[in-house]
Amino acid sequence: MFSLDYRDSKPIYEQIKDRFRTLIISGVIEEGERMPSVRSLASSLSVNPNTIQRAYRELEQEGYLLSIPGKGSIATHSKEADQHRKEELFREIRKNIRELRNLSVTEDELLQLLKEDETVHD
């Protein structure tokens, strides 16, 4: 399904959570689609089932998964979850912009960064 970067400073459960969130938001995993079981995913990724459970629990709290007792987890996709995620990302961007400005990065340099990112995704 996907691979993990064990050298990344980001915890494994966050890598799993981020990857599934991206797959759900982009529609690769469709709303209502059943997620892999905790045990099967833990086995395929060679991680502790508690790691998968934590990622699933946080995705449920964010509004991207719905756990059904005895049935497992299914993907959900709500505008509220997307809005919450956007607000969270905007907070991170603002924090990074403040730090960059403290490092004397100009508005033109920031705009150039945005333009560079647009060309990567076109």
Give residue-wise pLDDT tens across range 21-62.
999 998 999 999 999 999 999 999 999 999 999 999 999 999
Closest CA to 84 of 59, 66, 56, 67: 59
Regarding whether 96 and 66 lie in a shared domain, the answer is no
Q: Is residue 6 in a domain?
A: no
Give the structural domain span for 106: 80-121
Domain boundary among 61, 77, 93: 77
Terminal CA-to-CA distance of the chain, rounded, Å? 25
Regarding whether 73 and 16 lie in a shared domain, the answer is yes
Q: Is residue 64 in a domain?
A: yes
Regarding whether 67 and 93 lie in a shared domain, the answer is no
Count up the domains in the chain and report the number: 2
pTM: 0.73
Regarding whether 94 and 107 lie in a shared domain, the answer is yes
